[in-house]
């Protein structure tokens, strides 16, 4: 088909504004999926996505549509909305010419809307504003339309009003996509050589690495000899095709197509997002790739049994083939054995990876308390080191300058909640840079705050003080000097590295008390007394104790000499004393996970 009949586009929006539901209606209206096979969130194939009602992994799909007697190919890439997965959005935008900027008619423009819009504008993509959920009784259609007009400097009639749930207005949206989004134009109009951009990939046990590509030049056919420009890895195309939305093999992919290539490569690390694929003979030059994602949260992953270390390594490599934003390297701990220090894009990303390791690979893990990275400079030796794990942080810090990352945060909230939000920002060491009225009833705040404080339950606290109405987005900013210290938890005198964390010195005593109290409520009673101590600033800051399980050893006795009961109790007392000396506290896996999720 002629390139002028191709349209490649993505849907971008704040979380829960209805991207997946609108995708369902597009697939339904174009007849891509039979009605009997249609279901909600049809492009969200991962079990976790369907459970949580969010998109985690981008998903391309090819649709056919006829307009005015002409056939068109519509390539859609459905993208995640949560801020942790904004990297997925940036990757998909490199493969398209236009986007649908979706805004919920009940919530209006949110903080993440600014972030994804900036990505699309930076790439010069055509933007079609779409107002979704107009069927709801609480929809503020006119007011939100004005917000979009102010945001994009467009005309009200340029905004498409639709309902992803009922399908209202979706047919007009399809026409608008064909009218406004430009067709892809190949720079080199020749059959060979070919060139394609890798925007995603996955791993199959039987097929090896399967790359998702946008073909830029020429065409690709089975058995073609190709290579990755960056890694230099050569391969022969075993299979290629489109997504409808399931993989559908084809005889060729041509310039303008979005599809997949089966490479047969079984080694990790050869396929990279942003790499260019071209012919082995007379190759074309590489196209500009993507910015490498920077992890913002670090946590150590240890197998509960050291026998599973090899399985954990293999599982992380497999997940890394599907999730380029995941990074990890091997480390070891005296108490926990061998494991991996892993980097994540945020707390949700960490939680999703932990859950996938548990479900898909049947791994029982110990996940340490999440932390950010710190840059330490020794003031005497001028030696510089970067610390990723709290248990590696020096106990004595007087000879160090400590630097931490700060983030630029945008918050949009109804004006009525400004007072508690300002109080929350003060508690999290934030600096308010600007405050402006965004619409008649909402205010936009631009702030700077330590990344450490953002990870300290800030999102949940913001939702709580604003009754769920505030939204926020963030991006990494500069580094600044940090006033922090290390907190350790000792169980019966032994430091548990998985519980160590770095906290602000100004609230170290409060954090110590909360940690001890929380752990006291999480660890179940055992046969020995459990002594919990929280240590920081060179002393014990908080302590709790969990009494041992008790059994009445004289319960079966009925009457008789009192000395018999006394002997039994004395014997029990000696046994308890011996067990206290030799016994080891068993900390269930759930305790580690709950301490991670509730970390302040």
Residue 135 is labelled as binding a ligand: yes
List all residues 6 or more positions away from 561 whose beta carbon is below 8 Å from its beta carbon.
none
Neighbouring CB atoms inside 10 A of 548's CB total 16
Q: What residue has token string 């890394």?
A: 320
- Find out whether 70 and 64 touch, Cβ atoms under 8 Å: no
CB-count burial class (<10 Å; 0-12, 13-18, 19+) for 382:
exposed
Residues 532 and 543: their CA atoms lie apart, in Å, by: 5
Stretch (H or E) spanning 67: strand 59-67
Residues 320 and 389: their CA atoms lie apart, in Å, by: 21
Please report the DSSP string for 87-118 in residue order: HHHHHHHTT-SEEEEEEETTT-S-HHHHHHHH
Over its C-alpha atoms, the chain yields an Rg (Å, rounded) of 28
Can you say whether residue 44 is alpha, beta or left, with left for phi > 0 and alpha for psi between -120 and 50 degrees?
beta
Residue 16 is labelled as binding a ligand: yes
**Which domains are delineated in the chain?**
3-180 (3.40.50.300), 195-279 (2.40.30.10), 297-367 (3.30.70.870), 402-454+462-481 (3.30.70.240), 485-597 (3.30.70.2570)
Q: How many CA atoms lie within 13 A of 188 on its CB side?
A: 16
List all residues 6 or more positions away from 373 whose beta carbon is below 8 Å from its beta carbon.
298, 386, 387, 388, 405
- Find out whether 442 and 410 touch, Cβ atoms under 8 Å: no
Can you say whether residue 133 is alpha, beta or left, with left for phi > 0 and alpha for psi between -120 and 50 degrees?
left
Token reading at 282? 């007379």
List all residues 6 or more positions away from 432 whose beta carbon is below 8 Å from its beta carbon.
422, 425, 445, 446, 447
Residue 21 is labelled as binding a ligand: yes
- Find out whether 75 and 8 touch, Cβ atoms under 8 Å: yes
- Find out whether 203 and 210 touch, Cβ atoms under 8 Å: yes
Residue 18 is labelled as binding a ligand: yes
pLDDT values of the chain reduced to their tens digit, one per residue, 600 residues: 577 888 999 888 877 777 888 888 888 888 876 654 555 544 444 554 445 455 545 678 888 888 888 889 899 887 765 555 566 667 678 788 999 999 999 888 887 788 788 888 888 899 999 999 999 899 889 989 998 998 888 998 899 999 988 888 999 999 999 999 998 864 444 456 888 888 777 777 788 888 888 888 888 999 888 988 877 888 899 999 988 878 889 998 988 888 999 988 877 667 777 788 888 877 777 776 555 667 888 888 888 888 889 999 988 888 887 777 788 888 876 667 788 888 888 777 888 888 888 888 888 888 877 888 899 999 888 899 988 888 888 888 888 999 999 999 989 888 889 999 999 999 999 999 999 887 777 888 999 999 988 888 888 888 889 888 888 888 888 899 999 999 999 988 888 887 888 889 988 999 899 989 988 888 888 778 888 999 998 899 999 988 887 666 566 666 667 777 777 777 767 776 666 655 677 777 677 767 766 554
Residue 19 is labelled as binding a ligand: yes
């Amino acid at each position: 088909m002629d390139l002028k009949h191709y349209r490649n586009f993505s849907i971008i929006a704040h979380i829960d504004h209805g991207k997946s539901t609108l995708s369902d209606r597009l697939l339904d209206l174009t007849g891509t999926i039979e009605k009997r096979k249609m279901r909600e969130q049809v492009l969200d194939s991962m079990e976790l996505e369907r459970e949580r009602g969010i998109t985690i992994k981008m998903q391309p799909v090819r649709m056919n549509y006829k307009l005015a007697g002409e056939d068109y190919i519509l390539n859609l890439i459905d993208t995640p909305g949560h801020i942790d997965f904004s990297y997925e959005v940036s990757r998909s935008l490199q493969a398209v010419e236009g986007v649908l900027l979706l805004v919920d008619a009940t919530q209006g423009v949110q903080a993440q809307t600014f972030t994804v819009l900036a990505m699309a504008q930076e790439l010069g993509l055509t933007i079609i504003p779409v107002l979704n959920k107009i069927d709801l009784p609480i929809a503020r259609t006119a007011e939100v339309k004005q917000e979009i007009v102010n945001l994009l400097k467009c005309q009200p009639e340029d905004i498409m009003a639709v309902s992803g749930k009922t399908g209202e207005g979706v047919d007009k949206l399809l026409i608008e996509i064909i009218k406004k989004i430009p067709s892809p134009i190949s720079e080199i109009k020749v059959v060979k050589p070919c060139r394609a951009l890798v925007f995603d990939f996955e791993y199959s046990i039987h097929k090896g690495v399967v790359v998702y590509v946008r073909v830029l030049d020429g065409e690709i056919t089975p058995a073609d000899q190709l290579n990755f420009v960056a890694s230099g890895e050569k391969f022969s195309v075993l299979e290629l095709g489109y997504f409808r939305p399931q993989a559908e093999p084809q005889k060729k992919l041509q310039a303008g197509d979005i599809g997949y290539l089966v490479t047969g490569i079984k080694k990790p690390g050869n396929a990279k997002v942003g790499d260019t694929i071209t012919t082995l003979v007379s190759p074309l030059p590489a196209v500009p790739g993507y910015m490498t994602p920077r992890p913002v949260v670090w946590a150590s992953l240890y197998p509960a049994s050291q026998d599973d270390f090899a399985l954990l390594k293999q599982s992380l490599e497999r997940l890394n083939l599907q999730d380029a934003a995941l990074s990890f390297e091997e480390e070891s701990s005296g108490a926990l054995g061998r494991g991996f220090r892993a980097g994540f894009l945020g707390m949700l990303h960490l939680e999703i990876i932990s859950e996938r390791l548990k479900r898909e690979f049947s791994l029982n893990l110990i996940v340490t308390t999440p932390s950010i990275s710190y840059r330490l400079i020794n003031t005497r030796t001028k030696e510089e080191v970067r610390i990723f794990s709290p248990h590696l942080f020096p106990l004595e810090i007087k000879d160090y300058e400590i630097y931490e990352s700060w983030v630029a945060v945008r918050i949009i909230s109804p004006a009525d909640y400004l007072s508690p939000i300002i109080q929350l920002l003060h508690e999290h060491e934030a600096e308010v840079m600007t405050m402006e009225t965004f619409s008649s009833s909402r205010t936009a705040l631009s702030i700077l705050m330590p990344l450490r404080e953002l990870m300290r339950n800030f999102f949940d606290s913001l939702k709580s003080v604003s009754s769920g109405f505030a939204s926020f987005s963030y991006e990494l900013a500069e580094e600044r000097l940090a006033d922090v210290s290390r907190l350790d938890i000792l169980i019966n005198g032994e430091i548990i590295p998985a519980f160590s964390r770095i906290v602000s010195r100004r609230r170290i005593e409060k954090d110590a008390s909360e940690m001890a109290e929380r752990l006291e409520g999480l660890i179940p009673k055992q046969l020995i007394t459990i002594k919990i101590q929280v240590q920081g600033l060179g002393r014990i800051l908080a302590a709790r104790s969990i009494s041992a399980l008790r059994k009445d050893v004289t319960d079966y006795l009925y009457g008789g000499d009192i000395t018999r009961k006394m002997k039994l109790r004395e014997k029990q007392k000696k046994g308890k004393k011996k067990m206290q000396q030799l016994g080891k506290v068993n900390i269930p896996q759930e305790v580690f996970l709950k301490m991670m999720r509730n970390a302040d």
